[in-house]
Structure 1
Amino acid sequence: MAEKVQSSSGFSVLGVGLRAASVRFANSGFSSTEPFAYLEAYQRRWTQRFVFRPDYGGFKYGGRLDFLPFGLFTNMSQYHEVDMMRELVPRLVIGVAYSYNVGMSSRRGRGSGDILYLDADQNPSLPNFSKPGVDFLFKYQGFSAVGEFVSTAATVPNDIVYRVRNDGSLVTTFPVGDGDDVENYVKGRMMLGMGYNIQMGYLFKNRFSIDARYTHLSADEYSFLNNGIFYNRPNYYTSGVSQYLSKMYGIKIRASVDCVDAAEGSNDFDGVAKTGDEWIFRLITSFAL
């Protein structure tokens, strides 16, 4: 099974945060079967790889609350999807999260300066981006199940006059359909909509695992998720097998097959219309600590 990722790569992150935990103790020591919860909050600002590139927008604020009703997982394994520890009693973590990006200048908030808009004085005027989500992870004796739901939304400032093209030139057109529409043009370049994912798997005692996953994406009317080349594919069906070479989660060999439902209007990279299902086969060798 693919492991849970806690942060994105490719950018440096400066941030401050806090963590608060609620822990119960039983008699002489900590009882791992007692309910446990913790809260995380963060404030981040993206910095580019190149020092001389300007930084646009404001901070990204976020928080997450995790609740473990059956106590802690063995060796903090709630950060990995596969049940390598083969939990002897059921373990469950339920999480809720929310983030708010002030002045976003990329499709999903992972970069700065990728997509720029300016006001009448040619100062940056950028949309804000919010993302709430909820997820769970369950493990018991080699079986694991993961579910998550995420939605996104954007608010577009009403003082946008210019957009910056890839060559750096400024234009005042925001084509949508047969006319100009600033708000919906801006939203059409962002990842807006909702999605949910459910995944289940089983790890045998010889560290061989099987898993299956279903993912559904529902794009807003104006969203880059409707892009016919890269997205516009609402349903993903995945099945896979993995052989873990040790109890280190990242050392494994994995094979998987995906069936992707290509919606009407989907294209390949050559602009040829796609019809029916797409099939993707993967063979991965992973050596990660």
Structure 2
Amino acid sequence: MQQQPFVQSFFDAVTNSYSYVVSDPSTKKCAIIDSVLDYDAASASTATEQADQIIAYVQQQQLQVQWILETHVHADHLSAAQFLKQQLGGRVATSDKITLVQQTFSSIYHLDLSYFSSQQSFDYLFKDGEHFKIGELDAYNIATPGHTPACLSYVIGDAVFVGDTLFMPDYGTARCDFPKGSAAQLFDSVQKLYQLADNTRVFLCHDYLPKTRQQYQCETSIAQQKAENIHLHIGVAKDEFIALREQRDAGLNMPKLIIPAIQINMDAGKLPKAESNGIRYLKVPLNYFKTT
């Protein structure tokens, strides 16, 4: 019989992002997945409203945080991983392919790559397919690159947390036009997810509420995705998907928060160190990212 973790979702309407607390009812151990740090772009200021909701829930339920998991380096919101670790404990973890992202964007942001190679900011890096525990819950990851080269989906009991790999079936799949993204890889990644049991609960990182739907949603199933995903249901050929995905990506603007998000998230959610005047600074690569 499949284990059934309890899943509590948290929605950030500003970035259309879902975060999750996944807990083992028998041991009260839990993992936090894809947390959000509030960020106001106009003032370049952070806040912890979203993270505080998670903290309050964990404390009310008397849970113990074992893991703070990232499915990938997000380009559309900042991670609250470090703040949550300070408040609740737990290990901040992601794919060991994070080094590819750090190499790529260290070049773009003209950062010192030796910083990441000498003192990895994440507490733990998962190898592809690695198994781990949340209390007594069995968990493992599936490498699902395509959106980024370091995307992981976490299978925990009868649930899978897919990050940006898939959206709700009526919205489709993730973009693949970021550096080292690949529509071909995304197709292959989704096929791996489709090998999971049809009744596997699928939890998504975003919902953008298409006009055909009235309410935001974060949960679907493998069976529903296989039958109804508008980009990649069963029967869609690889070449067909690649052509569709690349055509759509060519018309997309960059996410509004990509500039601050990438440089903070690839550092496990750590904010830049304050300079001699006590102020922290972000770098902005002028005229690098495309606009449509």
TM-score, normalisation: structure 2: 0.29
Q: Which has the higher contact order (CA 8 A, sep 6+)?
A: 2
Give the number of the structure whose alpha-carbon radius of gyration is greater.
Answer: 1
Relative to the length of structure 1, the TM-score reads: 0.29
Task: From the two aligned structures, give the one with the greater strand fraction.
Answer: 1
